[in-house]
Structure 1
Amino acid sequence: MRKYEGAFILLSNLEEDVRNAEIEKVKNIITERQGTIEKVNEWGQRRLAYEIDKKREGYYVFIEFTAGADAVNEIDRICKISDNFVRHMITVDESN
């Protein structure tokens, strides 16, 4: 188990319940695979640094968690096939 930080940008025009369901989906993947969620930081709606697929804004969410590689791979897979995620990135937290 390693510490990770996930950065997720969701579509800015999603309804709140849909957006929360997508965030919960990621959190459930972590906990179902014996991982722990340290912190969830929702920045909310922000302007993107550059246009992505003709979109200028996104909803930013950062999740710090501890999990195995299988959870990270599943999160990556789910984010790639979902149309609600604009971008995502999961990095290993080397601060410890």
Structure 2
Amino acid sequence: MEGLQEQLKQITEKLQQVAHRYHLLQKEHEQLSREVIALRDKEKARLIRIDELEMKITALQTVTGQLNEPEKKEVEKRINRYIREIDRCIALLSE
């Protein structure tokens, strides 16, 4: 009977250890999840900044006339896309 109680005590202690470890891992997981979200937000902000800077470079190259033919065509496509988007917005506003 004594051996059974000792085994039960050991099982209870191990269960408490597992529960404690689970709680610690859960906290660590939550912290890592917050870090992932923060890093994704930083990445998104940096990608937006890169896009802005690339647009500025293109604008400067356009103004200074330093674009080659494929770049000029890309700029024209982008401008046409912006114009279509503006026209679509105006059409929605006039409804």
State if a TM-score over 0.5 links the two structures: no
Q: Which has the higher strand share?
A: 1
Q: Could you state the TM-score of these two structures normalised by the residue count of structure 1?
A: 0.26
Larger % of helix: which?
A: 2
Q: Which has the larger radius of gyration?
A: 2
